[in-house]
Amino acid sequence: MNKREEFEHLLHGTVINSACSQNDAEAKIKTLQEWITANTPNRLYRFRSNTNYALDALRKDEIWGSTLWEFNDPYECIPFYNLDTIQSELERELSFEHILSLIQLFKSGNIPEIMKNAFGSEMIERIIANIPDKLDESALRKNCEIMKQQIIAFIVQNFNDLCGQFFTGILQEESQRHIACFSEHNDSSLMWGHYANGHHGFCLEYDFKSILKPCQQGCTDIKGCNNFMITPSIAPVIYSKSRFDATSHLFTVIQANIISRVAAPMELYYGDTLLISKCLLTKSLDWEYEKEWRLFSPPSIGPVTKHKVIFSLKPTAVYIGSRSSAEQAQILNQICKEKDIPCYQMIQNYHGSDFKLFPAPYEEYIKSGSTRN
């Protein structure tokens, strides 16, 4: 088991919900905190295009994050819901009392706000339209199994709408966070091609490991923690063949709204306060070559912008792309001198057989007589 698989096993095996005591929740999150602190690489790298915005952020030691909507993979962070499991759980959980209570609730029109939010107005209107004007409790009791199957069939028929409503709630949570992406390596030609404007940009090296420390926010309810009790909030991406399975969390919502009808707190509503983190840290196996780590901002308060500064940290080195112009390279080298940090030129190591790029000290590279476009 490699380190990322180890983290996946640990994170996905950690569930924090209303059944957890404050002490239990703190102990579980502390285990995650200790793993991250111990396994964060000594160096993480961020690829940048050679723009005025990126240069200005470098000068100011600013790390900018983006919302999920700005990422290049439109399908990441979308969880999976197993309809067969939902159906079997409803078969097991729905009793006559639940069915009768639910019918009476819809008939009365006094539908809790949480149920309206979970199912949406159109779906609720369809349910109400199918309720007969007169209810015969004895007849309903005799036909309890039929009624149960009708309710289950209705949920199955409208499963996509229900998932959409639930996922909208997840997206609202996810969109409150800004994320900055880093890689464990800076020698990949593919990464330079994708994220540094076709090798025209530059790459920043950071040392997060030496500054990691326990979170000092002083939260009164640790069960609502989404940053692993660590500052800065950073964690490795999990690469998987399958999307994160949020079936149990969706059923918790269905259970709360259909069976129990409670105005559930967030941790019960989702069944796990770490649900958002698990979604945000799961990517397709296709992206495994990136070896990504993600830095998270706290949830935004107020209007959400596409980009914002989420952390301040001085880079430990700068690497210049092989296609950067001489003028761009000189600007980057001058910034490095002002910051007293090393500056390197990325080159192809022609003496090696692999395709990895090699960092050469910039001043030595210039003195060697190498030319640029």
- What pLDDT, on the 0 to 100 scale, is given for residue 218? 60
pLDDT tens, residue by residue, 86-140: 888 887 777 777 777 777 777 777 776 656 665 667 767 776 776 666 666 676 6
b/e for 228-253, b at 16 or more Cβ within 10 A? Answer: bbbbbbbbbbbbbeebbbbbbbbbbb
The pLDDT assigned to 142 comes to: 65
Instruction: Return all residues near 345 (Cβ < 8 A) that are at least 6 apart.
Output: 319, 320, 322, 329, 359, 360, 361, 362, 365, 370
CA dist., res. 213 & res. 211, Å (int) = 6
3-state secondary structure 49-81: CCCHHHHHHHHHCEEEEECHHHCCCCCCCCCEC
pLDDT band of residue 159 (cuts 50, 70, 90) is confident
Residue closest to 202 by CA, chosen among 322, 341, 366: 322
Q: How far apart are the C-alpha atoms of 308 and 64, rounded to whole Å?
A: 5
**243: its two tokens:** 């999307």
Q: Quickly state the pLDDT bin for 148 (edges 50, 70, 90).
A: confident
Q: Measured between alpha carbons, how far is 63 from 54 in angstroms, rounded to an integer?
A: 9
Average of per-residue pLDDT across 171-184: 82
pTM: 0.80
Q: Which two tokens stand for residue 64?
A: 């900018």
Q: What are phi and psi of 121, to 5 degrees?
A: -65, -40
- Can you give the pLDDT at residue 265? 43
CB–CB of 311/180 below 8 Å? yes
pLDDT > 90? residue 231: no
3-state secondary structure of 109: coil
Neighbours of 131 (CB within 10 A): 12
Give pLDDT tens digits for 43-65: 999 999 999 999 999 999 999 99
